[in-house]
Amino acid sequence: MTTKIIAHRGASKLAPENTMYAFELGYKFGAEGIETDVQLTKDNIPVLIHDETVKRTTNGNGYVKDYTFDELSKLDAGSWFSPEFHNARIISLEEFLIWIKPKELYINIELKNNKIDYKNLESIVYDMLKNHRLLERTTLSTFNPNSVRRLLKYQNNIEVAFLTSKKKPNLVEYAKNLGANALHVKYRLVNPQLIEQAHDNNMPVRVYTVNNYKPMMHCFNQDCDGIFTDVPYKALTFRKLFQFKKQL
């Protein structure tokens, strides 16, 4: 199998994460998927930002949930990375879906509800994906076990991934019992037994966040279904090298 290369928050080593600059770069480099994070504004608009506060990646302060979308969209979301990106802004999920729809890209949307459990986040995001007819190529992922349980009613229509960085006995069984049908794990959890057990249960395994040669090669060798990477251009090169070596 071929391990998919998924641009983590876009090509986030070369452009400010979760902005159109990073998404466009990831697409131009040839990534096969885009990963992004979604939270809710004060007026219940799903927006793409990783942190619960705007401090790290904008010129603002405070919680995402305390801003309206109009207020958020006026913040500078790029100068923290480099002055050349001063025009970057926080975008809505709707804008992102309109951009990605005509492109042949896998979509991973992480619901950022493990610290702030946003009310109705699952149904708001699901309904938007359904309206854009993007359910079949999207995975919804979350660290929040209760969120996975709430997504159970949608499981037949969309892939739901349990995200984890913690070692747990019988992790595959645990994720299945929650209602997940995919598993997204931190690199250090990857081992042949986990991959085999997950694949025996028809659960794709994708790995985060993989940016260096050795971990990438290990994931390719273990037949991981995908890797999330800040450097999709490197990952594509290393995957070609892996495939070449395999043929020798």
Question: How far, CA to CA in Å, does 117 sit from each of 12, 142, 190?
Answer: 26, 11, 28
Closest residue by Cα to residue 125 from 103, 134, 204: 134
Alpha helices in the chain (DSSP H): 20-29, 69-72, 93-100, 121-131, 145-150, 171-178, 192-200, 213-221, 232-247
Q: Which of 50, 86, 132, 218 is catalytic?
A: 50
Could you list the pLDDT tens digit for every one of the 248 residues in the chain? 899 999 999 999 999 999 999 999 999 999 999 999 999 999 999 999 999 999 999 999 999 999 999 999 999 999 999 999 999 999 999 999 999 999 999 999 999 999 999 999 999 999 999 999 999 999 999 999 999 999 999 989 999 999 999 999 999 999 999 999 999 999 999 999 999 999 999 999 999 999 999 999 999 999 999 999 999 999 999 999 999 999 88
Query: Is there a catalytic annotation at residue 50?
Result: yes
What local confidence, expressed as pLDDT, does residue 1 receive? 85
What local confidence, expressed as pLDDT, does residue 73 receive? 97
Query: Is there a catalytic annotation at residue 8?
Result: yes
Closest residue by Cα to residue 49 from 82, 11, 90, 15: 90
